[in-house]
Structure 1
Amino acid sequence: MFSEKMDLRLPGPVQVPREIQRAMLRSFDHPMMDYRNEEFQEILKETTDAAKMIFQTQNPVYVLTSSGASALETSMVNLVGPSDTIIICSVGYFGEYLTEIAEHIGVKVIKIETEWGKIVNPEDVRKALKNNSEVKAVFATHCETSTGAINPIKEIANVVKETEAVFVVDAVSSIVGTPLYMDEWGIDIVATGGQKALMLPPGIALITLSEKAWTAVEKHKCPSYYFDLKKYKKWLPIGHTPYTPNIALVNGLLEACRMIERSGGMEAEYKRHACLKEMTRAGVRALGLKLFVEDSIASPTLTSVVFDFMDADQFRKKMREDLHVAIGGGLGQLKGKLLRLGHMGYTDASDILKMFASLELNLVRHGVNVQLGAGVSAAQKYWLENPWC
């Protein structure tokens, strides 16, 4: 009956607020907004200025009409080529993703790997830099979306900034949801996408660079025509992108930034996501399910649950079909073995309660011995007992 009804509790994409939908629709008012006229020039300038807030930076922010993956590739092709060496901190599927981008370019990769669900030891980065003075850049994923673990980006930044290497952070599933202070921590490049805690539909990516990063970029001949950041740097001051922008998504991004400001700013967003994380983890424990990562490194944007006693993907399929709630599954070596519960962006406490009520029903239907209401009750209890929520 309700063929189009779906509640997204995924690690991306997320629900898009009505405010953002309306802002995007204004792009299609008659006549169609011209991206080379003064109206859009002012919107782009205002949007990129507002977006500095989400990175906690004073550096210019550049908009790409593409996905978060494109921002990662952009950061790499503008820094290094086949004769160069980089370090990649790989703690899961998206660390491997970075490695595949590097291998495609032909860059030499020194990998610092951990077991999935764990995080990088900054001292391992220090040792690798000390033993390989030719390294031009260090890449690390902030929130490893495949596991829900948060890498110690501040500590890694402290190590890298002692060298000439450029520090690049994949913040696709962490930006807005998890504390990240680009300027204060000394991060050189941050890349992200819009379809997660920024609450936008897929199709827009953002990247920002420090002066140290720009020094390296200016010395390197970028082999990509579309992703050459020197062109974006040239065009941004006059309110243009070098190629056709997604007008609707730029308008949506501006509204997303305004919504964040109205809600109390970035610190309020960090606090809100932390509360949703704790509600979710309390509910998972109350159901007797196992959390995949330990509390101290758990992401505020998604929670991974071990689910290897039955096929997790079939379980998710039934939950989607019967209860109209979509949750994420495992990736790579964890495919069919995890449930990934998203609690980022356009999500509040009542969404978490609905997710647990649906999850409990689906568990019982599949013969899992859980007490109906246990997860909901634990999440409710956490919310009531913590006024900071």
Structure 2
Amino acid sequence: MQPHLFTPGPVSIPHEIRQRGAAPLVSHRSEPFFSLLEEISARLKRLLRAKEPPVLFPGSGTGALEALAANLIAPGDRVISFSCGAFGDRFREIAGRRGAEVIPADIPWGRGATPDDVKDALARSPDPAVVLFTHNETSTGAVTPLGECIAALPHDGPLVLVDAVSSLGALPCFPEEWGIDGLASCSQKGLLTPPGIAVAALSPRGWARAGSRPCPSYYFDLSLHRRFLEKERPQNPYTPPVTLLCSLAEALRFLEDFGFGKWFRLKARTAETFETACKAMGLPFFVEDPAFRSPAVTAVKVPGGKGKDMKRALEALGVDAAAGQGKEPSLLRVAHYSPGGWPELSLIAGSIYGAGKMCGLDLRPDFSEAAWNCWTREGE
């Protein structure tokens, strides 16, 4: 039986997106591919509200983070790393392996960074060359208010690099409006595409930094990618994942036809309805403050530390969610990327209730009515 995916990547992908990826192959040095790349770039720029062209290359979200570090961080740079979870820690490690002098700014797991956190870190370590943020921390289900945090930095201060791996496509993310100099993401989460495409978006300041010194990596050389994008017909410097790019083009068309703003509101509504169901069952949230809860991923605390047991019970029911990660193994994490709406909400909420009973948890059964009332309330 094909499992129902509620993991924070890969995600359940609509049929028409998968079907576009099954189209006959074309050469990446042909007119059909050049047109495909133009379409993707135009739609991504509208999603990001950006003027600068995004770079797409074979890889994962971690590959996109590596590309930011290779192009925008130099050995010896002082880098303040704001981390509120396992993936913030990963971004920090990538910067350290680049030879940066990394200054940790640890945020308690269970919330995002705040402008006060930024001001405190700058007071302790003034004049950094670079700061690192994670927009949506997948390991905890916490979101950071990036625009507010970046506004707390000095004007024309450090370069701002952002892990948007699990946020792009699922919640508003506007790098040029917010002052982000380097953004990293990928295909298999909010962009509703199979794994395999890394996405990097740079500001004019980011491009100037990238072009000011040689990149130590050919594969991740973003300036090289840009030179190929600026040829008479846009292309990649080496073989790209053509079939995945076909799927990505269809996914972006789907999101834009739906309406980006309307889609973001649907994700927030889906997450709120799921939270209502969990609260009615008696499952507490890892992110206690609703202001920091992600519309893309919800993390619930499983009583008795039975996060992995719940995951196994869900798998027995044909549902795949994610257990905790890093130092929070007792969590169960459920993603809200797919467009399934109420039918999928009913499926995952009912499955969690059933899995909880299988694990011996005392969950309340009246969650369905509470969730339905939230989903159908006036004005939605």
**TM-score bucket (shorter structure):** over 0.9
Q: 1:203 is matched with which residue: 176, 196, 200?
A: 196
Q: Which whole-Å deviations, capped at 9, do the CAs of 1:274-315 have from their partners, x for residues lacking one?
A: 100110110010001111112111000011001141431122
SS at structure 2 position matched to 1:215: helix
Tell whether 2:359 aligns with 1:363: no
Please give the alpha-carbon distance, in whole angstroms, between the structure 2 residues aligned to 1:38 and 1:161.
Answer: 45
Q: 1:284 is matched with which residue: 260, 263, 278?
A: 278
Q: Give the counterpart letter for 1:116 in structure 2.
A: W
Please give the alpha-carbon distance, in whole angstroms, between the structure 1 residues aligned to 2:245 and 2:129.
Answer: 32
Tell whether 2:334 aligns with 1:341: yes
* 360 and 133 in structure 1: CA distance in 2 versus 1, 3 angstrom threshold: closer
Shift of 1:128: 3.5
Tell whether 2:322 aligns with 1:328: yes
Equivalent position of 2:375 in the other structure: 383
Q: 2:296 is matched with which residue: 278, 301, 304?
A: 301
Q: Give the counterpart letter for 1:326 in structure 2.
A: D
User: Structure 2: where are the runs of 5+ without partners?
Assistant: none
Please give the alpha-carbon distance, in whole angstroms, between the structure 1 residues aligned to 2:82 and 2:357.
Answer: 40
Please give the alpha-carbon distance, in whole angstroms, between the structure 2 residues aligned to 1:278 and 1:127.
Answer: 32
Equivalent position of 1:16 in the other structure: 13
Q: Give the counterpart letter for 1:242 in structure 2.
A: P
Shift of 1:367: 2.0
* 131 and 218 in structure 1: CA distance in 2 versus 1, 3 angstrom threshold: farther
Equivalent position of 2:39 in the other structure: 46
Please give the alpha-carbon distance, in whole angstroms, between the structure 1 residues aligned to 2:213 and 2:134.
Answer: 23
| TM-score, length-scaled by structure 2 | 0.95
8 Å contact kept, 2:286–2:299: yes
Q: What is the number of residues matched between the two proteins?
A: 377
Q: Give the counterpart letter for 1:258 in structure 2.
A: R
Please give the alpha-carbon distance, in whole angstroms, between the structure 2 residues aligned to 1:105 and 1:212.
Answer: 20
8 Å contact kept, 2:136–2:144: yes
Shift of 1:183: 2.2
Tell whether 2:306 aligns with 1:311: yes
8 Å contact kept, 1:85–1:110: yes
Q: 1:137 is matched with which residue: 126, 130, 135?
A: 130
Please give the alpha-carbon distance, in whole angstroms, between the structure 2 residues aligned to 1:345 and 1:243.
Answer: 31
Q: Give the counterpart letter for 2:196 in structure 1.
A: G
Q: Which whole-Å deviations, capped at 9, do the CAs of 1:299-342 have from their partners, x for residues lacking one?
A: 00011001141431122112102x1011111001012x000011
Please give the alpha-carbon distance, in whole angstroms, between the structure 1 residues aligned to 2:117 and 2:209.
Answer: 24
Equivalent position of 1:218 in the other structure: 211
Q: 1:271 is matched with which residue: 265, 275, 295?
A: 265
SS at structure 2 position matched to 1:285: helix
Tell whether 2:67 aligns with 1:74: yes
Q: Which whole-Å deviations, capped at 9, do the CAs of 1:216-275 have from their partners, x for residues lacking one?
A: 111232111100111011001232111110001111111111101211x21111100010
Q: Give the counterpart letter for 2:221 in structure 1.
A: D
Please give the alpha-carbon distance, in whole angstroms, between the structure 2 residues aligned to 1:131 and 1:334.
Answer: 28
Please give the alpha-carbon distance, in whole angstroms, between the structure 1 residues aligned to 2:367 and 2:320.
Answer: 17
Equivalent position of 1:7 in the other structure: 4
Tell whether 2:346 aligns with 1:353: yes
CA RMSD of aligned residues (A): 1.5
Tell whether 2:255 aligns with 1:260: yes
Q: Which whole-Å deviations, capped at 9, do the CAs of 1:153-193 have from their partners, x for residues lacking one?
A: 00122133513311111111111211222222222221111
8 Å contact kept, 1:112–1:120: no
| TM-score, length-scaled by structure 1 | 0.93
Tell whether 2:229 aligns with 1:236: yes
Tell whether 2:78 aligns with 1:107: no
SS at structure 2 position matched to 1:291: coil
